[in-house]
Amino acid sequence: TIYEKGFLFQAIRFSACFSVFPLGRQKCSRRYPNDGASEIVLLFHQAGFSRGEFKNIAPRLVDSGFECLAVDF
């Protein structure tokens, strides 16, 4: 768990399990938790960017009642 700019998030790693990634390739993501959320927003960046692109919008989504997962490709 990491605290950055007044917001708590978790950095997580996982093996890709869907067809756009080569099998077994590790991906990184940043989870913005919301224990009260019933829905999760998956955030995927454009080419040439990273999951850091969502560091300002993800906390706003969490404040709106969602949990977020920003994924790096």
14-63 pLDDT, tens digit per residue, is 554 444 445 555 567 788 889 999 888 988 888 888 778 888 999 999 99
Q: What is the dihedral sign for C-alpha 48, 53, 54, 57? A: negative
**What pLDDT, on the 0 to 100 scale, is given for residue 62?**
94
- The winner for highest mean pLDDT among 11-15, 50-54, 65-69 is 65-69
Residues 61 and 68 sit within 8 Å (Cβ to Cβ): yes
Which residue type sits at 10?
A: Q
